[in-house]
Amino acid sequence: MPIRSVAVGHHDELRHPDTIKAGVAEFISTLVFVFAGSGSGMAFDKLTHNGAANPTGLLSAAIAHAFGLFVAVSIGANISGGHVNPAVTFGAFVGGHITLFRGIVYIIAQLLGSTVACLLLNFVTNGLAVGAFSLSAGVGVSNALVFEIVMTFGLVYTVYATAVDPKKGSLGTIAPIAIGFIVGANILAGGAFTGASMNPAVAFGPALVSWTWGNHWIYWVGPLVGGGLAGLIYDLLFINQTHEHLPTSA
């Protein structure tokens, strides 16, 4: 059972060189991803003079996030596992693939990476607003929460199937592509409703820099529930074996 594989670890991990290196890798990967993803949205707003959202903008956001995440996962994979997302880290923890202490380092690094990316975007664009995630008109809180749960479930399930599962074989070589593709597809599905965050760090940086916190909790609760369920279900049904607590997993 996955719950038996969950490990708290030891506080000494916080100072271990491997953990620090992994944290730095998560910081850089998340910075790269958020800079590209949020930056694409800011560029679109500038080119359209802050025009209303339209299918072209949604498509450009999906492509930018898919490409950006493909690169971000790839550059972090050999060091930290390329989580780039607290929901992925939490899903890995639930399945016993990362300890609690190491996971905390990952999440802090991801939040810092997102924040620095947004500060840089604000600086290089001479103060243009970094758009925070928000619900579209007519979208209720419960609708948005379910959207984020389902989309993040699909993302973390994909991470497990292509990167975590020990039976993945050569499928692991396409893991960054598959992970980028599912994020791009989910943006096309949910971007017009919730913005399709699927990632608390991606939502946190823009919210902090723009100081816009409306319904921000949805972008934490939804992804963490979806990611946790994906890790629990995949590990229980398809791995279901005694795990070695791995320092990196995805």
Lowest-pLDDT range of 3-17, 142-156, 181-195: 3-17
What's the mean pLDDT when you consider all of the chain? 92
What pLDDT band is residue 4 in, cutting at 50, 70 and 90? low
How many other C-beta atoms can be found within 10 angstroms of the C-beta atom of residue 138? 7
Burial label, 78 (beta-carbon count in 10 A; 0-12, 13-18, 19+): exposed
- Mean pLDDT on 147-173: 96
What pLDDT band is residue 244 in, cutting at 50, 70 and 90? very low
- Identify whether the C-beta of residue 115 lies closer than 8 Å to the C-beta of residue 132: no
What pLDDT band is residue 135 in, cutting at 50, 70 and 90? very high
Domains of the chain listed by start with CATH number? 2-239 (1.20.1080.10)
pLDDT at 245: 43
Model's pTM, two decimal places?
A: 0.93
Helix (H, G, I), strand (E, B) or coil at 141: helix
- Of 198, 189, 161, the residue nearest 69 (C-alpha): 198
- Which comes out higher in pLDDT, residue 244 or 82? 82
- Mean pLDDT on 87-111: 97
- Mean pLDDT on 124-131: 94
pLDDT at 247: 45
Structure tokens at 233: 């279900």
Q: Is the pLDDT of residue 122 over 50?
A: yes
pLDDT at 7: 86
